[in-house]
Chains A and B, each alone.
Chain A
Amino acid sequence: MNWFTGLINGMLQGATPILLSALGGTFTFYAGIFNIAMEGMMLAGAFFAVLGSYYFGSWLMGILLAILGSLLMALVFIVFAVLIGVDEFVTGIALNLFSLGATTYMLRQIFNVKGGFSDPGIVSIPRIHIPLIRDIPVLGQILSGQNLVVYLAVIATVVSAFVIFRTRFGLRLRAAGYNAASLSSSGVRTDRVRIYSLLICGVLCGLAGAFLSLGYVTLFSENMSAGRGWISLAAVILVNGNPWGIALISLLFGFTDGLGLLLQSYRIPSQFTSMVPYVATLIALFFYSIRAKKRASV
C-alpha cells in the first residue's frame, strides 16, 4: 500500500500550493480583477519564508514573514492597478518580474549565494499527527501526518466558500465583479472591495509560498514558483472561481505532479515527468473550451 499512500501524499503535496494561490485568485476573480500576479506573490512568499525561518529560527516567523512579503507584492498591485489605474495585465507582468528580480537580488545580497539557499538552520513547517486518526489503517496515513499547511489549506477552502457565498462581504465581492457600477450606486466603495480581495489573495499566496520553501523541502531557489502561479490562474479560469471546484482541480494537478514522480521510477526521463502538470493543464483547458464552445449562444 505504500505506493498508494505515497501517491496520495505526493498529490496533496503538489496540490496544496496551487490550491492556496488559486483560492487567492478566486477572490480577485470574483472582484472582477484580472490578476496574474499570483506567481510573483507566491515567489515572494517563498523567499521571505526562508528568511524568517532562518533568522528567527522559527517556522511560525517564516510563515508570518512569507505572508508579509506576499502582502507587499499585493500592495504594489493595489497601488498601481487599483489606485493609479494601470492596466491589470501589465501590472501583473511587471509585478512578477519585479518579484523575480527582487528575490534573486536579495538571495544574493542577504545570503551571499547564487541559485539557491539551503541551510540546516532553516526550520521547516512541521507535520501534524492526529492521535486516534493516525491509527486508522490506510486512511490514517493520509488524514494524519500531513504538513500543517495542508490542513490550513483545507480550512481555507471551507472558509473561502463560506465567505464568498454567505457573507455580506462575499455578496459585495461578487457584485464588484458582476457589475461594479451597480455596486457603487448601492453606496458601496468598490475600490475597497477590490483592495480587500487583493489583500486576501496576498495572504493566501504567501502561505502557498511558505509551503513551497518550508514544507517538504527547506530551501529557496531562484524562480522557485516555477509556473505554479500560472497553473493556479488556469485553475481559477477553468472552474469559473468556485472554491470547491478549485479544490478538485488542484487535487488533479497535484495528482499529475505526484504522477510525474511516480513515472520517474519507470525510467521515463525526468524532463517528461516534469511536463505532466503542464500538459494536464492543456488537456483540462481542452475540455473546458470544448464545453464552452458548445454552450455559447450563436
Chain B
Amino acid sequence: MDNLIEMRDIVKVFPPHVVALDRVTVSFKPGEIHSIVGENGAGKSTLMKVLYGLEHRDAGEIIYRGQPVAFRNPGEAIEAGIGMVHQEILLINEYKVWENVVLGQEPVNWFGKIDENRARQQVQQKIEEFQFNLNPDAVVDEISIAARQKVEILKLLYRNVSVLIMDEPTAVLTPQEIPQLFNELRRLRDNGHTILFISHHLEEVLELSDRITVMRRGKLIDTVPAAETNKAELARMMVGRDVLFTSHREERKAGEPVLDIRGLTLADANQQPRLQDIELQVRSGEIVGVAGVEGNGQFELVNTIMGLTRPTSGQILVAGEDLTGADILTRRRKIAFVPQDRGRMGASVSASITENAMMTHHRLNGRFTEWKGLLLNFRKARQYTDELVERFSVSLGSQAQPFKSLSGGNQQKLILGRELMLDSPFVLLDQPTRGLDVGSIEYVHSQILKMRENGRAVLLFSADLEELLRLADRIVVMFRGRMVADLPVETTNVEEIGYLMLEGKHRNYEQEAS
C-alpha cells in the first residue's frame, strides 16, 4: 500500500458543458506534504472538494487506504480521517476556542449537558501535543487570523484526521506568519500526517512541499518532486507558456496633488483610535498602493474618504476642495470608487444592469434626466450603458438582465467602467481584483495603468503585494491606524513591506546582528 490516496480518471462537469476536471489521475503518499498548484479555475479546489465529499464526481474512482470510497459529505470524510481547512475561516467568533473545537462532537453528561472540564482537558491535550500555542478559553473574535487558522486545524486534529487538506491557507496571513504555519505543517508531517496543500504561490510551494502537482484547465499536467523543479518550470506548466515575472510600467512624472489628506484622525464610539494622524498625498498620474494586514485602518480610511464615516479631526481635500464634512454626493463629483465587496457596496445584484450602470450618474450626469433632474430618461440611460459595455468589454446578454447574471469578472468590469466614466480626478480602488480569474485581472490592471496614463490620481488598496509592486509608484503601509511607511516602489520589496505590515516599523538589521 504505497499510496494513501489514489484518484483515478476523475471527471467533473458543471452543467451544461464546463469540464472542471478532465480525467485527473493523481496519488498521494502517506506522510508527505503534497502541493497542488494552478491558476484560478484550474480545478485544484474542485479536485479536493470531490475527494472531501463537498462535490459529487461524475466519473472515476477514489481509493483510500486500499479501499474504494465515495464520501457523500464532509462528515463522512472526517470520520474516515480526511479533513479540510477552508480558505475562509469558518468559526463561531462569539465562542471560545474549546467550544469551537468540540462543536459537533461535544463530550456530554446526562440530559445532554456538556462536560466542560473534559472538553477543555481534551482540547488542551491536543494543543500541547502539536505545540500550537493557543489558549482554549480565548474568544475567537479576539485572536489573530493566524491563530484562528490553527483552531480550524485543531478542530480536525481533535477528530483524529490524518490527512489535512489546506485550501490557500496563506491568503489570510502576512508574510511573517507564514513560516510559523509551515513549521507546524512540517511537524504534523513528521508526526505521520499527510498534508495536501492547494496554492498558486510558487515560491511557498517550492519551499514547503515534498511533491508538487500542477493542474491547468481541469487537466493534470504533471507531478514532480519539489527538489527537482523551479519556479519558471512550474509557471510554464501552470500557464502553458513562458511567463515573465517583470512588470511593464513606463516611467512617468506625477503632477499636482489631487488627494490631500492631512492629520486625519478617527476614534470610534469606545474612544479607541482607528486612524491616527494620517498624512497622505496622491498626485495626478500617480498610483499609490496601500498595504497592510486587514483590520489596521484601511476599512476606516476608505469609509472616511468616501464619507460613510466622519473623522474626529483632520482634513480631506480632493482637487483643492475641502470635502471633510461634505455629503457623499458632493464627494462623488470628484471621487470614483470601486469598493471591495462587489455585491454589497458596488451594485444591487437584483437590479438590472442598466439600473446599476446609472447609479451616481443619475445625479451627476445631466444626460439622463429631464425636467430639472426629476424625471429619468431611460432611453438615454440604455444608450449610455451600451457605450459603457462596449468600452470596457463587458460581455452580457441583455441590459435588462439582473446584475447577478454576470460573471464576477464582468461584474467588476461594469463597476469599473461606471466609475471611470464619471470622469473623476481621483479614483479609489479597494481590492479591485479579488476573486477574479486571470484574464479579468490582467484587464483590470491594464485599465488601472491607463488611468495613470490619463493623469488621474489612483489610490489602490490591495492585499496582493505582488499586485501593488507591479502597479504602484509608491507604497504606503498601514499599521494600527497609522501610516508607518511611504516608499517609492523601486526602493522596496515584498520582505520589507511584509515586515512593516506585521511589526509597524522598519527592520533593524544592526540590532538583529548584535
Contacts and interface: CB of A to CB of B under 8 A. Distances in A.
Q: Tell whether any CB of A sits under 8 Å from a CB of B in the complex.
A: yes
Interface of B: 74-75, 78, 86, 90-95, 99-100, 103-106, 108, 111-114, 155, 266-270, 274, 300, 309-310
A182 B269 contact: no
A168 B114 contact: yes
A176 to B, nearest CB: 10
A109 interface: no
20 contacts: A167-B112, A167-B113, A168-B106, A168-B113, A171-B95, A171-B106, A174-B94, A178-B93, A178-B94, A178-B95, A181-B90, A183-B104, A186-B104, A186-B105, A187-B74, A187-B78, A187-B104, A294-B269, A298-B266, A298-B309
A174 B95 CA distance: 10
A298 B103 contact: no
Interface residues of A, number: 23
Contacts of B300: 298
B111 A167 contact: yes
A175 B92 CA distance: 7
A5 interface: no
Contacts of B266: 298
Interface string A173-216: 01100110111011110000000000000000000000000000
Contacts of B99: 171
B269 A185 contact: no
B92 A178 contact: yes
A87 B309 CA distance: 32
Interface in A128-182: 162, 166-169, 171-172, 174-175, 178-179, 181-182
Contact of B269 (A181, A187, A298): A298
Nearest to B54: A185
Nearest to B83: A185
A187 B268 contact: no
A179 B92 CA distance: 6
A240 B407 CA distance: 39
The secondary structure that dominates the A interface is helix
A1 interface: no
Given A171-B114, A183-B92, 10 more contacts: A162-B113, A167-B113, A169-B112, A178-B93, A179-B92, A187-B105, A294-B269, A295-B269, A298-B267, A298-B309
B112 A297 contact: no
A18 B312 CA distance: 44
A143 B261 CA distance: 67
B269 A179 contact: no
A183 B95 CA distance: 12
A171 B78 CA distance: 21
A297 B266 CA distance: 11
A298 B272 CA distance: 10
A188 B112 contact: no
A185 B86 CA distance: 10
B274 A179 contact: no
Given A178-B94, A181-B90, A182-B90, A167 B269 contact: no
A172 B268 CA distance: 33
Contacts of A179: 90-93
A297 B300 CA distance: 11
A254 B49 CA distance: 54
B297 to A, nearest CB: 12
B269 A186 contact: no
A205 to B, nearest CB: 23
A110 interface: no
Nearest to B89: A182
A296 interface: yes
A183 B269 contact: no
A179 B90 CA distance: 8
Contacts of B103: 171-172, 175, 182-183, 186, 188
A298 B114 contact: no
Contact of A182 (B75, B78, B92, B274): B92
A294 B271 CA distance: 12
A201 to B, nearest CB: 19
Given A168-B106, A297-B268, A298-B266, A185 B90 contact: yes
A167 B93 contact: no
B353 to A, nearest CB: 25
Contacts of A295: 269
Contacts of A298: 266-269, 274, 300, 309-310
A166 B274 contact: no
Contacts of A186: 103-105, 155
A167 to B, nearest CB: 4
A168 B268 CA distance: 37
B110 to A, nearest CB: 10
A175 B93 CA distance: 10
A295 B269 CA distance: 7
Nearest to A172: B103
Contacts of A183: 92, 103-104
A182 B91 contact: yes
A188 B106 CA distance: 11
Q: Which of A172, A181, A185, A188 has the most CB atoms of chain B within a 10 A radius of its CB?
A: A185
Contacts of A171: 95, 99, 103, 106, 114
A286 to B, nearest CB: 19
